[in-house]
Chains A and B, each alone.
Chain A
Amino acid sequence: MRALRFLMQKEFRQMFRDKGFTGRLFIAPAIQLILLPMAANYTIKNINIAIVDHDHSTVSQQLSNKILSSGYFKLADYTDFNSKAGALIENDKADLVLEFPSGFEKNMIRENNQKIAIQVNAINGVKASIGFGYLSGIIADYNNNLRLQWIQPGRTNTMPTIDVVSSYWYNPSLTYYIYMVPAILVSLITGIAGLSAAFNIVKEKEMGTIEQINVTPIKKYEFILGKLIPFLAVGTVVFSFGLLFSWVIYGIKPLGNIAVLYLFMYVFLFAILGFGLLISTYSQTQQQANSIMFLFMMVFNMMSGLYTPIDSMPGWAQVITHLFPISYFIDVMRMVVIKGSGIHDIRMHILFVFLIGLVLNTWAVLNYRKTT
């Protein structure tokens, strides 16, 4: 045990001597927590719209004004020619083209029915579908207003309509950062605590210091614990800092019990440190470890439900995501922070991540023995 204490002392000494370390510990998370939620935002504004108006009527004018004054759209061009609008899409100057056919107003009044065309530039899928959604919403709204104006009050309503009133639970205004910030924090902890541990062990291999350690009476478990415990501490610091930071900047206060969050974080770190340890047993140099990590981090980030909901992935992909401890943690963060879930609600998450951690750590320790 005495040896373990000195191993940890050595580890902390080396950490704080590393000039970039404090930066990685505090500055990088701060920047990511500020930049990512603000920049990577699904509330899309500045959608470029081109309006082709063959009608030049009051209705087409009113509808155009309503669209442009919504704040989501920027007018790319207002024209009479389809070909011109097509060119705008080709040159990526317009994301949407709205076309009023000639006789639009006349037909609408006379026949009570009219069509307008919307063309969408689907190069950027997210922008296209969201922009289309906004536009449809505005047109539907305008449509309702028209109906109110034209249908004489007092007469019985000939057309029954279903009026939809929606409310978003847990995040009433559907604010983007409320569900992004907790998830980004997970990605940060994975990178800083979990993966640094792998690099740290590989560094000992690369520098040859592990040879020197191996000829001492230090036991294998002491060496591994001497590596993992300092990174548990680092994880705790980053996590606390991140929670504090999201409270100060975004006003996000976990609704649920903070102790539950910390409990899950330790279970998660157990798993992710095991993953780091496993990588370190397979790599000889930091370069190798880095390339393996890069591959996994990409997949982790894309598939963990950080940016896109896991439920919308194909079945096989959903199975894969359930093997990543990160997707569980993101889920737990959102549940506890936004919804206020308790330990009972996340018991299966705890169990699964613990099992994943157990497998990873056992695998790593077995492989570690074999190679030395």
Chain B
Amino acid sequence: MNAITLNNITKTYNKGTVLAVDDVSLTVEKGEIFGLIGPDGAGKSTIFRLLTTLLLPDKGTATVGGLDVVKDFKAIRGIVGYMPGKFSLYQDLTVEENLDFFATVFKTTIEENYHLIKDIYVQIEPFKDRRAGKLSGGMKQKLALCCALIHKPEVLFLDEPTTGVDVVSRREFWEMLKRLKQQGITIMVSTSYMDEATMCDRIGLILNGKVLSVASPEATIKAYPEQLYGVKANSIYHLLLDLRKYEGTINCYTFGEYLHLSITTNEEQVRKYLQEKGHTDVEFKAIEPTVEDCFIRLLKHEDEQGNSNKDK
């Protein structure tokens, strides 16, 4: 059985003028970590709020744990854990009081599900008498995760859980998610950090309310149609300008210290072109694309389609 399904879900804001989610269909299997990857404003949070029954869809149907998000919203609230993007626990209550409060409103106790949160909670336990508002960013995230987990949800929704968290805490956080997955909890997580995509079982790339591709990170990368090259030269700025002018270029953009380049011609021709342009110290190597490269390609594709639609 699928843990989450969305069928042609559309959601607009401001009386239909702002399209937030555009005809999205996808499924998440039970016990899977599913990542929604996309830039800010892509519609990730809206999808979360639709699935956690905080919003009603304009069109389409969706289920969580086999329950309809509109009809069975009450039952869904009992089986999902939701961690919103913005820290939204009671800042004037202590760590322990927050946890206790959310345990009781779900008619359970901390002791009952302590095994689920144990790994995370031991890290914040030394601060259990501290007010939640006084915790550091990483600590807050851990507490929020504990609160979302305390009633042993079947499906966990984490909306940008690692935004604003340092690199070490981020890695720890993902380790925790893997352990939760082993407990059989389905996790839907969103992030705008592309490097986190590889931690998911499957990812959905989302842009302007549309899900552009759904596959495992490996498959997403494999689906990249062209060979990708990393290029470097003396003057990286002029190199970028020249390569963008080059007629064989499909796409060229900066990526760390290299330029990433996909071409219709071959390496020899490009090297020759660059020599003509007077570039020195040219480094040219074939590279394996990352999720980010896939995303940039889709972004460009989407842009061109948008433009051609406008032209019509």
Residues of A within 8 A of B102 (CB): 212, 216
| Closest beta carbon of chain B to A73's beta carbon, Å | 56
Do A212 and B84 have beta carbons less than 8 Å apart?
A: yes
The answer, yes or no, to whether B86 is at the interface (CB within 8 Å) is yes
| Closest beta carbon of chain B to A211's beta carbon, Å | 5
The answer, yes or no, to whether B273 is at the interface (CB within 8 Å) is no
A218 with B105: in contact, given A10-B93, A211-B54, A212-B82 (CB under 8 Å)?
A: yes
Interface residues of A (CB under 8 A from B): 2-3, 6-7, 10, 13-14, 17-18, 207-209, 211-218, 372
| Closest beta carbon of chain B to A78's beta carbon, Å | 65
Q: CA separation between A215 and B74, bound complex, in Å?
A: 9
Instruction: Point out the residue from A2, A3, A14, A208 that lies within 8 Å of B84, measured CB to CB.
Output: A208
Residues of A within 8 A of B53 (CB): 215
- Interface of B, secondary structure class, is loop
- Interface residues in B76-106 by Cβ distance below 8 A to A read 77-78, 80, 82, 84, 86-93, 97, 101-102, 104-106
Question: 10 shortest A-B CB distances, which residue pairs?
Answer: A208-B88, A6-B104, A215-B82, A216-B105, A208-B86, A212-B88, A215-B52, A209-B88, A217-B77, A217-B78
A-B contacts, CB under 8 A, total: 61
Q: Which of chain B's residues has its CB closest to A208's CB?
A: B88
Instruction: Point out the residue from B77, B87, B97, B107 that lies within 8 Å of A208, measured CB to CB.
Output: B87
Can you show 11 pairs from A to B with CB atoms below 8 A apart?
A2-B104, A3-B105, A10-B101, A13-B93, A14-B92, A211-B82, A211-B84, A212-B89, A215-B53, A218-B105, A372-B54
Do A10 and B90 have beta carbons less than 8 Å apart?
A: yes
Q: CA separation between A211 and B85, bound complex, in Å?
A: 11
Interface residues of B (CB under 8 A from A): 52-54, 74, 77-78, 80, 82, 84, 86-93, 97, 101-102, 104-107, 147
| Closest beta carbon of chain B to A294's beta carbon, Å | 25
Do B82 and A217 have beta carbons less than 8 Å apart?
A: no
Do A2 and B107 have beta carbons less than 8 Å apart?
A: yes
Q: CA separation between A211 and B54, bound complex, in Å?
A: 8
Q: CA separation between A211 and B83, bound complex, in Å?
A: 10
Instruction: Point out the residue from A207, A209, A216, A372 that lies within 8 Å of B106, measured CB to CB.
Output: A216
Residues of B within 8 A of A6 (CB): 101, 104-105
Do A215 and B80 have beta carbons less than 8 Å apart?
A: yes
Do A18 and B92 have beta carbons less than 8 Å apart?
A: yes
| Closest beta carbon of chain B to A14's beta carbon, Å | 5
Residues of A within 8 A of B101 (CB): 6, 10
Q: CA separation between A287 and B74, bound complex, in Å?
A: 32
Residues of B within 8 A of A7 (CB): 105
Residues of A within 8 A of B86 (CB): 208
Do A215 and B92 have beta carbons less than 8 Å apart?
A: no
| Closest beta carbon of chain B to A230's beta carbon, Å | 14
A207 with B91: in contact, given A215-B52, A215-B54 (CB under 8 Å)?
A: yes
Residues of B within 8 A of A211 (CB): 54, 82, 84, 88
Q: Which of chain A's residues has its CB closest to B75's CB?
A: A217
Residues of A within 8 A of B84 (CB): 208, 211-212
